[in-house]
Structure 1
């Protein structure tokens, strides 16, 4: 029997699956209750039926309730809206990163 490691969906810390952590039935994992609650994790007293699911979950979070989305999905959507490819975005970001920016508050 091995140990798997998860990455906290909020703070990005890693933790083993054999220790204390909080997990939603949709598959998201957090290192602690505070991180989970910051992303809308909650117990569902009356059950929660995600769209297209066949069974009610006893927990839910902002991701399975479609109130929040993974960064990868948001990036894909933003690239589509901006009509840019990932490579084109890299070129734009490199130009931006090379430009001297004024310090905030200056």
Structure 2
């Protein structure tokens, strides 16, 4: 019996699902409802404050989690959705999907470290 690499991708998929279910709705409520309705003052979401947050190590870590894990979730879900549509994608398709997620993750890490 050969070893499978699926547990790694299922772990990233699960982490992305948790982030998408627990953290992204908070961001959507803050930036999509509370800020436009004036409940949150404009000074709290000013560019300088957001840049200072993103420049700190914990802010960069939060941004990476919010960007990368849902990306793995969506590409893993798209790959398995092909099976539901009776498109039996092979190793090349899996490599392309996970390669996109991997490349975007590395690009996000590099961009966060540079900024």
TM-score (norm 2): 0.22
Of Structure 1 and Structure 2, which has the larger fraction of its residues in strand?
A: 1
TM-score (norm 1): 0.24
Greater RCO (Cα-Cα under 8 Å, separation 6 or more) = 2
